[in-house]
Amino acid sequence: MKLFLIGLVSLLSACATEKNSVATPSVATKQPTSTSKKELTNSTWMLETRLDENHQATQSMAGSAIHLSFNNQQLSGYAGCNNYFAQYQISDPQNLKLTSPIGSSLKACSPALNMQEKAYLSLLPQVTYFKLENDRLLLLDQNKKTLLTFAAQNSAQVLENTNWQASGINNNRGGVVSDKNTHLSTAQFSNGEIQGKAACNQFSARYTLQNQQITFGPAHTTRMFCGEAGVMAQEAQFLYALTQINRYEVTENQLYLRDQTGSLWLSFKILNSD
């Protein structure tokens, strides 16, 4: 009888313990996925709206063509007056943040453009999340409030069969410059070939495209000599720049050719055909 009571107490105790205990579900640690990175890598976006000082979505000034590109954990673009760049990181499928201060060129523009640019660049460090919706990119703050809205830019569709006139050429001393000769350099893209004037001589080269990446083959040129001051030097800079480029961005009227670090080597404006 004593043994029976001891066994009954043990059984009731075990049942009570089992009833009161709650199984803790195993929670798998959420790891960052590569899908979200692939969706942004080698993509270019045109700004549609930004959050203004009154917390209202406002459109960009006409013709300012603010854009943003992502490539190998570096973002870069044009802020309406200056080119800018920074490092970024995606640590979760929809978490995005800058991991370095924003750098930019130092061109002076009108007060209105400068103010717009300052407002735009001040929003980027506040970005914590991103969302992709129907060819739109939304950049959100930590409270998931939309700071910036962009539209997808498919450069490949607009590069073929276009004509461009140089507006800036990297002098290989750290700067993209423009002077009285810059307009002499031109480029036309058609059927995988770029051709035009390097400054003095005609040139041509094959090119290949993959997403936002572009690479140029060896350039072939005519052999003229031009005596005007600076023309031959510009031609050498232009042809050298082609060997450094592996990225491109197209806005409505502008073409930017960059290297793998995001540094700008050539900029063009659209040259309308007659």
CATH 3.20.10.10 fits 157-270, yes or no: no
> Which CATH topology does 34-153 take?
Lipocalin (2.40.128)
More confidently predicted of 36 and 75: 75
What is the predicted pLDDT for the residue at 110?
Answer: 86
pLDDT at 19 over 70: no
260, 72 in Cβ contact below 8 A? Answer: yes
Q: Which of 154, 188, 168, 191 is nearest to 238 (CA)?
A: 168
- The residue-averaged pLDDT of 175-197 equals 94
Tens of pLDDT, residue by residue over 121-155, are 999 999 999 999 888 999 999 999 999 999 887 65
pLDDT at 3 over 50: no
Q: Please, what is the average pLDDT of the chain?
A: 83
The residue to which tokens 């080119």 are assigned: 83
49 to 16, 59, 95: CA distances (angstroms)? 61, 4, 21
The residue to which tokens 């498919």 are assigned: 154
The reply to whether domains 34-153 and 157-270 share a CATH topology is yes
Instruction: Report the distance separating Cα 210 and Cα 187, nearest Å.
Output: 19
pLDDT band at 42 (very low <50, low <70, confident <90, very high): confident
DSSP class per residue in 83-144: EEEEEEEEEETTEEEE-S--EE------HHHHHHHHHHHHHGGG--EEEE-SSEEEEE-TT-
Upper half-sphere CA count for residue 19 (Cβ side, 13 Å): 6
124 to 140, 265, 266: CA distances (angstroms)? 9, 24, 25
Tens of pLDDT, residue by residue over 71-120, are 878 888 888 888 899 999 998 778 999 999 999 888 788 899 899 999 99
β-strands 103-104, 95-98: how paired?
A: unpaired
Share of the chain above pLDDT 90, in %: 49
Instruction: Report the distance separating Cα 266 and Cα 257, nearest Å.
Output: 5
What is the predicted pLDDT for the residue at 272?
Answer: 66
Using CA atoms in the order 136, 252, 65, 50, what is the torsion angle rounded to 10 degrees? -20
Return the SS3 of 36. Answer: helix
Domain ranges for the chain, please list them: 34-153, 157-270
